[in-house]
Amino acid sequence: MSHAVVFEGVRKAYGETVVIEDLNLNIPEGNIVVFVGPSGCGKTTTMKMINRLIEPTKGRVLVNGKDITKMNPVDLRRGIGYVIQQVGLFPHMTIAENVSLVPRLQGGKSAMDVNKVDLLLETVGLDPNLYRDRYPGELSGGQQQRVGVARALMSDPPIILMDEPFSALDPITREGLQDELIRLNQELHKTIIFVTHDMDEALKIADQIIVMQGGQVIQQATPDQILRRPANEFVRDFIGEKRLSSHQSWVVEDVMLRSPVKMSPKKGLAEAVETMHRKRVTGVVVTDPSGKYLGIANTADIYDRYQEESLSLGEVMRTDAVTVRAGTPLTEAISLVQEAPYGYVPVVDSQGKLAGLLTRASLVDVLAKPYLEEVSAGA
C-alpha cells in the first residue's frame, strides 16, 4: 500500500510547550483517514503540518514522497484541498466564483471553467442551475459546506484536508453530508484526512481511525479493529462502553428467532402465500412432522411456479440454502447472514432439527440493544 502522507520523527513545540512529540505515522493513499481525540490532543496541529500552515519544530513530513520543506508552500497548498468548519466562502462572490477561486487566482477571470463548476456542483449534490449564480448568504449551512467541498475539489487534488467541517451543523444535515462524503470518495478515490472530536462520526466515515492523546498516536486501525481491540483504557473510554458491548462469547442461540414461520412440505403454494401474508414474512422454513429441517421457500420461489396448482411446497423449496449449527459462535455466523440471498439462515441442532432462524433484523436488534437501553434510561 502506498502512502500519501508520512510523518518521520515529527515534533512541534511552542517554546517549552510540546504539542506533538516524536510522531511517526503513515497515511495510506485513497482512504478516508480520521484523526480523533479530545480537545488539545494535537490532531488539528498534525493536520495543519501537512500543508505547512504549521511548520514542524523537528522531523520530516512527506507528501506523495516529497519532503514538504523543500517545496514552495503555495504550490504545496494548491495541490491539497482544504475544507474547514467555517467554510470560508466569500459573501460578495457567487457560488460559481467561490468554487473556481483557486484557478481564477492563478489565471484571472478567464480561468473560470463553467462546465467544471457545474460538474462539481452536481458531484456534491447541488443543482448548478439553481445554485451557480446565488450568493453564500442565500444558502443553508449544509449547502455552504457542499460548496466548500466542491471548491476543494476544483483543482483535482490527490489529498483533501477537512478540519471539523460538519461540527457546526444540525444532526440531520451532518448525517447527510457524512453519507455524501463516503459516496464521493468511493467515486473519486482521494486521500481525505479528516479531523473530528466525535467518535460516532469517525466510526461512520473512516477507512482508518487515528486516535490521539497528548500529542501522540495511541492507536491507528480500522473502525472494526478499534471497536474489537481498543489499545488501552483511554481508547476504551473515548469509544464509550455503549459501543463495546462484547458479543465475542455469544453463540447463535443468543440471537436467533426461536419461532420462525415453518410449514409442511405437503402444503400447497396458495396456502404458503396466505401464511406469509398473514405472518408478514417473505419466506418460510420447511420441516417434516418431527421438526427436521428440509429447506426454505421464498416468495420468488413460490411465485415463479404459482400457476402450477398441483405443486406442493416441498417441490419448490430450496434445499441448498446455507444453514448454521446450534452452538456456532455468533462472530462466525454473521458473515453467513450478510451473504445469504434472503437475509436469513436456518439454525439446526445436531439431529438436523430446526432450532431457529438467524436474520439480519435479529442481529441489528441485538447489536443495538446497548444504545436502546441508554436512550430508555435517559428518557
Q: Considering only 143-147, 213-217, 246-250, 369-373, which range has the smallest mean pLDDT? A: 369-373
More confident of the two residues 288 and 249: 288
Contact, 212 vs 43, CB < 8 A?
A: yes
Residue 377 lies in a domain: no
197 with 300, same domain: the answer is no
Q: Considering only 77-91, 107-121, 204-218, 260-274, which range has the smallest mean pLDDT? A: 107-121
135 with 272, same domain: the answer is no
298 with 186, same domain: the answer is no
pLDDT computed for residue 372 by the predictor:
43
- Name the grid cell of 257: 428467532
Name the CA dihedral angle for 375, 168, 98, 47, rounded to a multiple of 10 degrees.
-100
State the average pLDDT for the chain.
Answer: 85
pLDDT computed for residue 1 by the predictor:
60
pLDDT-based confidence at residue 371 (cuts at 50, 70, 90): very low
Q: What confidence tens digit (pLDDT) does each residue in 7-39 have?
A: 999 999 998 899 998 999 999 999 999 999 988
8 phi and psi angles, rounded to 5 deg: -120, 105
Q: What Cα–Cα distance (Å) separates residue 36 from each residue in 27, 166, 187, 284?
A: 14, 14, 25, 46
* Domain end residue (candidates: 220, 243, 266): 243
Give me the CATH number covering residue 268: 3.10.580.10
How far apart (Å, rounded) are the C-alpha atoms in residues 28 and 190?
10
Cα R_g (the chain), whole angstroms = 27
Q: What confidence tens digit (pLDDT) does each residue in 332-342 have?
A: 888 888 888 88
30 with 123, same domain: the answer is yes
Q: What is the average per-residue pLDDT within 180-196?
A: 89
Q: What is the average per-residue pLDDT within 161-189?
A: 85
Residue 378 lies in a domain: no
How far apart (Å, rounded) are the C-alpha atoms in residues 191 and 172?
25
Q: What is the average per-residue pLDDT within 270-299?
A: 90
pLDDT-based confidence at residue 110 (cuts at 50, 70, 90): low
Among the residues of 305-348, which ranges form H helices?
313-316, 330-339
* Domain end residue (candidates: 243, 269, 289): 243
pLDDT beyond 80 at 370: no
pLDDT computed for residue 28 by the predictor:
92
Q: Considering only 68-77, 104-113, 139-148, 285-294, which range has the smallest mean pLDDT? A: 104-113
Residue 276 lies in a domain: yes
Task: For residue 178, count CB atoms less than 10 angstroms from its CB and return exposed for 0-12, middle for 13-18, buried for 19 or more.
Answer: middle
Residue 143 lies in a domain: yes
* Domain end residue (candidates: 225, 243, 261): 243
226 with 299, same domain: the answer is no
pLDDT-based confidence at residue 375 (cuts at 50, 70, 90): very low
225 with 256, same domain: the answer is no
Of 45, 249, 83, 237, give the one whose Cα is nearest residue 159: 83
User: Other C-beta atoms within 10 Å of 283: how many?
Assistant: 23
For residue 321, give its domain range: 252-365
pLDDT computed for residue 213 by the predictor:
92
237 with 352, same domain: the answer is no
Residue 373 lies in a domain: no
Q: What is the average per-residue pLDDT within 42-66?
A: 93
28 with 145, same domain: the answer is yes
Of 258, 261, 262, give the one whose Cα is nearest residue 314: 262
Domain count, the chain: 2
Q: What confidence tens digit (pLDDT) does each residue in 221-246 have?
A: 998 888 878 889 999 888 876 565 55
How far apart (Å, rounded) are the C-alpha atoms in residues 125 and 122?
5
Q: Considering only 98-107, 119-128, 184-193, 225-234, which range has the smallest mean pLDDT? A: 98-107
* CA-CA-CA-CA torsion sign (311, 260, 243, 370): positive
Residue 220 lies in a domain: yes
Give me the CATH number covering residue 220: 3.40.50.300
36 with 115, same domain: the answer is yes
280 with 341, same domain: the answer is yes
Residue 24 lies in a domain: yes
Percentage of the chain lying above the pLDDT 90 cut? 32
308 with 339, same domain: the answer is yes
Percentage of the chain lying above the pLDDT 70 cut? 90
Q: Considering only 147-156, 208-217, 368-377, which range has the smallest mean pLDDT? A: 368-377
pLDDT beyond 90 at 102: no
130 with 183, same domain: the answer is yes
More confident of the two residues 314 and 300: 314
Residue 370 lies in a domain: no
